[in-house]
Amino acid sequence: MHGGTGRQLLRTGLSGLAVLCVALTGYGSEQARKPASQSSPRDSAPVRGSTKTGLVCAQNGPFSKTGAITEYQCTDRQAQMSKQAQAGQPATHMKAACSIALPILCFRDINAPSPKIPDVKGYWSGGVVAATPPQTGDKFTRVRQVNAYCQALFGKDWRVLSYHDGHKGRVAAYGRQLKSGQKVWIDIRTQPGENCWVD
């Protein structure tokens, strides 16, 4: 009797093991057939800073003896010169990889009248600029986060400088000079794809 009971338990155990093996095999096959579109959002998320670029401007130089007026160039001059004979060509924006750490150029509009400097009048912003410590562009996902960062450093009326605060790719404002050629992050509202973040 004990021998029969032992054989019955053995058969039950083997049957259970067979069911478990079939279940595991089915699970593996199902995973192998699982389409890529069913992968988790984390697996399909883009790599930060991999290939994305964002709009930058470069410090041009002072426009007054005191250095109180500064100017930034936001278009590629060499690329523009090569297109001068082609009327209607759009501006070629300067860009940098979003994974690079650059200062953010913050702006406060004070409705200041244009200084009596001929070369400034056409793209005078009417405000003041200030640069933050270097930050990677992909640190921010929304422009409101960039604005909040400017406000945390300089005050509630500050925001990131917009390309359209100037004119034709140049911006002049009151502000402290940076090193000549220093690049800074800015925002362009009309072309959000040109930013490291989303508007």
Can you give the pLDDT at residue 64?
A: 67
The pLDDT assigned to 89 comes to: 56
Q: What is the pLDDT of residue 90?
A: 58
Quick one: pLDDT at residue 15? 38
Residue-level pLDDT at 34: 35
What pLDDT was estimated at residue 118? 76
- Average pLDDT per consecutive 10 residues, the chain (199 residues; last block may be shorter): 44 36 32 33 38 92 73 75 52 89 97 86 92 96 97 97 92 88 93 88
Q: How far apart are CA 21 and CA 30, in angstroms?
A: 14
Query: So what's the pLDDT on residue 119?
Result: 76
Look at residue 87 in the predicted model and tell me its pLDDT.
Answer: 53
The predicted structure's pLDDT at residue 78 = 57
| pLDDT number for residue 80 | 52
